[in-house]
Structures are given as C-alpha cells and as structure tokens.
Chain A
Amino acid sequence: MRWPKRQHSVLPGFGLTLGIAVVYLSLVALIPMAALFLRARGLGWDGYWETVTAPRVLAACRLSFGAAFIAAAINAVMGFVVAWTLVRYRFFGRRLIDALIDLPFALPTAVSGIALTTIYAPTGWLGRALEPWGIKAVFTPLGVVIALTFIGLPFVVRTLQPALEDLEADVEEAAASLGARRHQTLLRVILPAITPALLTGFALAFARALGEYGSVVFISGNLPGKTEIAPLLIVTQLEQYDYEGATAIAVLLLVVSFVMLLLINALQRWSGRRHARGA
C-alpha cells in the first residue's frame, strides 16, 4: 500500500493521528467485518441463495423491510408536522418537547422495548384504548411498526428542523403576493425546497429501523414466519450454532446498510448543494 501523500501543511501530527485512526478502525471494525464476508464466501453462490430464500428467512425479511418502510413513512409525515410546529410556532412547553425529541436515541433500546410492550398490552394505557376496536398491537406486526416508529422519529425531525429554519421568508411572501393560497405555497414552494432533507430523514429512519433489535423483540412476540424480524432470526440461528445461516442474513442486512449509507451521503450532498444555491 502506498502511504497517502498529504498536501503541504505546517501542522504536525498527521502521520501519528492518521495512523491511530486507521489502525484502530481496522482492528475494531474493518477486519471483523471482513470476517463476515469471508465466512459468507464459504457458502458459495448457490448455498447463499438457498439460505436467504428459505421461507422463514423470506418471511423475516419481508416483515423487516415492510415494517421499516411503513414506520419511516409514518415518521416522514408526522416528523414533518412535528418539525414544522417546533420551528414555526411558539407554544407552552416547546423547548421541553424539542429536547425530548432525542429520547429514542438516548433511551437504551431494551428499556424502550419493555416500556412499549407494557403500554400497548391489552391491559396497558394505550392498549386498553385499542382493544374495543379489535386492534391488537402486542405480538403482532403492528407492534413491530410501533417500535420502529418510536426508534426512527428523531431522524426525520432532526433532519427537517435545520432545513425549515433555512427557508427564506421572502420566498413565501413572494408566493403569497403573487396570489398563491397558503396550501399552494406549501405544496409548490416549501415542500420542493425541503424534499432532500425529507428524503434523507426517511432514509436514515428506514436504515435504522431495518437493523433495530432491542426495542422490537419484546413487543413482537417473535413468532417464526409471523412476527420474527431479520435481526432476531440472526440471533436465533446463532443460538442454534447455525453460523452459516446467521452469516448469510447478516451479509444481506450489511449490504443494504452500505447502499443506504451511500444513498444518504448522496442525498446530503444534494441538500447541501441546495443550501449553497440558497434555494
């Protein structure tokens, strides 16, 4: 490997700090992740395909992708309402609520999991309200969606807030003075300007929801083929010493994570360009 050439700089410590960063990152993250791909290679293409198309794996992936998508969509809509309210309106308790938005980041996932299960159980505070409608949340796919919505909320709100704050008032004033009704301004002026941020938030929430484990396993009930999510299936197969099966699903999740990461980077560059243009 050729040592990266740095541009001339008078500051010291380039070799030392880059060395620490690269060595540590390799030891802790890159080499162990390489182990995963090498292990999967042992399966061969046919073996890999056979493993990930087994009915139980397919069902788990369908639930994981589907529930993550629905949760991210709910968050895109409600996250927009929340971000809009927090940025545009002044009301009692606004600052407290703003600080509370990050709770799903800060609260350990196991705690979120048991708390959500207790609330949405048929005897729980919110489960009781759903029961007369015949809606069951705990141990159903709905429970998975609830947990994933909780986990993804801060991603959309925190991505949208700066974008909404950056909107110039004069653009909306211009729209209004040209005769646009308020909902037309929203649809034709505001929404296009914040679309990159909204998509970024959606993608972040989706990516996080896809791999989420702790907050889901308590509320989902983990019935194979029904409420078993892909990360849980990895754990189950690991407990049965089926390393190949676990590795195959993990590679699938990891590849999707990489793609999401690249997509999110591209989206952020897009929204960055928009901000630079002053749109």
Chain B
Amino acid sequence: MSLKPATAEPRWVRTLLVAATLAFLGAFLVTPLLAVFVEAFRKGADAYFAGFADPAVRSAIRLTLLAAGIAVPVNLVFGLAAAWAVAKFEFPGKSLLTTLIDLPLAVSPVVSGLIYVLVFGLHGWLGGWLQAHGLQVIFAVPGIVLATMFVTVPFVARELIPLMQEQGTEDEESALTLGASGWQTFRRVTLPNVRWALLYGVILCNARAMGEFGAVSVVSGHIRGKTNTMPLQVEILYNEYNFVAAFAVASLLALLALVTLAAKTLVEWRMAAAPASVLIAGDEP
C-alpha cells in the first residue's frame, strides 16, 4: 500500500514504530511462548515424554477432555438458542439478555468458582441436602464441569448474535414460504449461513474450557489423580519444582493455543471470503 507523502510519516518514524512494535511483542508474546517449549525440552526429549507417563498427568488430561467435552456442546446448544431468540425476534429485555450473556467474561475467574462453592459447598445452600444424599459437587468432577460451563457461556453466543442480526430474517422467511418446516429452515438455511462464525465460537469456547484455571482451581480441591485438570496439574508440578514435567504439560496447552490461533486465522479468512448469504444449500444431502 502506498500512502501519499502528505499523509505518511517520515521513514525514520515508520522504522521506529515498527521496531517498537516488534520489541514490545517480542518481549511480551514471543518470549513466553518460546520459554514454554525450551523449558519443557531442557533435559532432552526422554525427560519430556517421561512427564506424560505419570498417572496423575494422564488423569488430568482425561479430566480436561471430559470437562471440555461437556461444556462445549452444552454452550453450543445454548449459543444457537440464544442467538436465534435474540437475532430473529424483538422482545422487551433483549438488550438485558445480551448483556447477561457476556457477564461471565467480566467476572473474575476466582469469583466464578466461589459462587458454586456458596451454592453446592458444605456450608452452601444445597450443601446439607447434597451431603444427606451422598452427592458431592464441590471438590469433585461435577463442580469442575459446572465451573467450566460458566466461564465458557458467552463464546458461541457472542460470535453468532451480531452475524445473525446482520443477516436478518429474509432468508428464513423465504424458506418458510417455500414450504420448509422450521427445523429444515434452521438446518438448511440458518446453519450454513453462520457456519464459520459457529466454528469460530466453538474454537474459542474449547480453548477457554481446556485452559481455565482460576474458577476450576477454587472448586477442585486439588485431589491428585481425581480432580486436577491440566492447568491445575501444571501448577502442582511447578510448585514441586518439577519444572520439566510442569512445562511438558504446559507445552500441550501451548500447542492447543497455537492450533486455536491458526484455526481462528483460517476461519477469519473464510468469513471474509464467504458469500454474505446462502439461500438454500441445494446440493446438501
């Protein structure tokens, strides 16, 4: 892009700003990322892979997959439902609902965990009842799943709502006029129209679900091999000065972050390239 000289900065200013950007991002973004992998492989590949033989690490990986495996589909359904209601209809309280959907993003992760302790914990609202029935939520897997669900509530909905609002209701109305049922309209018209934004939301939702630390930490109780997710296992190994193992587990999470960023970039390119509206995807089975 060539700017006209009158509205362009002198060459030295441009060089200075690019250098400042590279230095700042180098110090704040690139170095931490590199450090994770360098520290993980500090004692060689054998030590790196030995970290994953630990049963506690394996159980942490399983629990992380379980929590994300529940939280992501649930919030996918919620996101689609909320976006349909908010984007396709007018009703009082709509902007309040939209604000409330974003609320978990504004709440401190620690507070997100605390609210579940106050409901389900031993001294909480339902604590006595749960104990009488031999059920445990806090310091157990259900609490971890709940906390993960809470912190990932907004991700799918907030990607879908603006896009579906922009797309309006004309495509769906045409499909209904042509005799499609409500479900067919949703599946054949709405879903293809929002598929990239939906994928984008799911990617972000999954990254947060697998990486959540504060909220899960409060409800987990840190029972080794039982209630530790991968980020919590990283903390435990690090505090035990087992740095290679801590960074080995962290490197998996960092890889997940890199995959997330790559997928996000790809989806953004597809969204920019995608046609604004697909009326009926005729060649679909």
Listed in ascending order, the chain A residues whose CB lies under 8 Å from chain B are 4-7, 9-14, 16-18, 20-22, 24-25, 28-33, 35-36, 39, 78, 81-82, 84-86, 88-91, 97, 99-112, 114-116, 118-119, 124-126, 149-150, 153, 169, 172-173, 176-177, 182, 185, 207, 210-214, 218, 231-232, 234-235, 238, 241, 243, 246-247, 250, 253-254, 257-258, 260-261, 265
Whether A211 contacts B109 by the Cβ 8 Å rule is yes
Given A108-B231, A213-B108, A234-B114; A32-B119 close (CB under 8 Å):
yes
Chief secondary structure at chain A's binding surface = helix
Whether A108 contacts B211 by the Cβ 8 Å rule is yes
Most chain B CB neighbours (cut-off 10 Å) among A36, A107, A169:
A107
Which A residues touch B18, using CB under 8 A? 85, 89, 91
CA distance A256 to B87 in the complex (A): 29
Whether B257 contacts A106 by the Cβ 8 Å rule is yes
CA distance A13 to B84 in the complex (A): 8
Whether A257 contacts B106 by the Cβ 8 Å rule is yes
Residue from A28, A169, A258 within 8 A of B106 (CB atoms): A258
Given A11-B176, A153-B28, A211-B110; A89-B100 close (CB under 8 Å):
no
Whether B25 contacts A82 by the Cβ 8 Å rule is yes
For residue B136, give the distance in angstroms from its CB to the closest CB of chain A: 17
Whether A231 contacts B108 by the Cβ 8 Å rule is yes
Q: Which residue of B lies closest to A9 (CB)?
A: B89
Whether A32 contacts B150 by the Cβ 8 Å rule is yes
Number of A-B contacts (CB under 8 A): 292
Whether A115 contacts B33 by the Cβ 8 Å rule is yes
Name the interface residues of B82-137: CB closer than 8 Å to any CB of A: 82, 84-86, 88-93, 97, 99-104, 106-111, 114-119, 123-125
Which A residues touch B27, using CB under 8 A? 126
Whether A246 contacts B114 by the Cβ 8 Å rule is yes
For residue A59, give the distance in angstroms from its CB to the closest CB of chain B: 17
Name the interface residues of B233-256: CB closer than 8 Å to any CB of A: 234-235, 238, 243, 246-247, 250, 253-254, 256
Residue from B93, B115, B212 within 8 A of A32 (CB atoms): B115
Residue from A106, A116, A173, A182 within 8 A of B261 (CB atoms): A106
CA distance A22 to B84 in the complex (A): 13
The 8 closest A-B pairs by CB, nearest first: A211-B108, A108-B211, A12-B182, A214-B213, A213-B214, A176-B6, A32-B115, A106-B257
Which B residues touch A218, using CB under 8 A? 235, 238
Whether B235 contacts A13 by the Cβ 8 Å rule is no
Given A126-B31, A234-B114; A17-B84 close (CB under 8 Å):
yes
Whether A30 contacts B100 by the Cβ 8 Å rule is yes
Whether A35 contacts B89 by the Cβ 8 Å rule is no
Whether A5 contacts B29 by the Cβ 8 Å rule is no
CA distance A169 to B104 in the complex (A): 39
Judged by a CB distance under 8 angstroms, whether B169 is at the interface is: yes
Which B residues touch A182, using CB under 8 A? 7, 9-10
Q: Which residue of A lies closest to B114 (CB)?
A: A250
Q: Which residue of A lies closest to B102 (CB)?
A: A261
Interface size class of B (residues with CB under 8 A): 35 or more
Most chain A CB neighbours (cut-off 10 Å) among B17, B28, B104, B204:
B28
Which B residues touch A33, using CB under 8 A? 103, 107, 115
Residue from B89, B119, B210, B235 within 8 A of A31 (CB atoms): B119
Which A residues touch B235, using CB under 8 A? 110, 218
Judged by a CB distance under 8 angstroms, whether B224 is at the interface is: no
For residue A80, give the distance in angstroms from its CB to the closest CB of chain B: 10
Given A17-B82, A173-B7, A253-B111; A110-B213 close (CB under 8 Å):
yes
Which B residues touch A260, using CB under 8 A? 106
Which A residues touch B261, using CB under 8 A? 99-100, 102-103, 106
Whether A17 contacts B114 by the Cβ 8 Å rule is no
Judged by a CB distance under 8 angstroms, whether B1 is at the interface is: yes
Q: Which residue of B lies closest to A211 (CB)?
A: B108
Whether B115 contacts A35 by the Cβ 8 Å rule is yes
Whether A24 contacts B254 by the Cβ 8 Å rule is no
Given A29-B153, A35-B119, A114-B246; A100-B30 close (CB under 8 Å):
yes
Whether B93 contacts A25 by the Cβ 8 Å rule is no
Q: Which residue of A lies closest to B109 (CB)?
A: A213
For residue A236, give the distance in angstroms from its CB to the closest CB of chain B: 10
CA distance A118 to B124 in the complex (A): 39
Which A residues touch B36, using CB under 8 A? 111, 114-115
Q: Mark B202-240, 1 if CB is under 8 A from A, else 0.
A: 001001001111100110000000000011101100100
Whether A173 contacts B21 by the Cβ 8 Å rule is no
Given A11-B176, A82-B25; A21-B78 close (CB under 8 Å):
yes
The 18 sampled A-B contact pairs (Cβ below 8 Å) are A5-B92, A7-B91, A18-B91, A21-B85, A33-B107, A35-B119, A35-B124, A110-B213, A111-B211, A111-B234, A111-B253, A115-B32, A115-B33, A149-B28, A182-B10, A231-B110, A241-B123, A265-B99
For residue A215, give the distance in angstroms from its CB to the closest CB of chain B: 9
Q: Which residue of B lies closest to A118 (CB)?
A: B35
CA distance A253 to B109 in the complex (A): 11
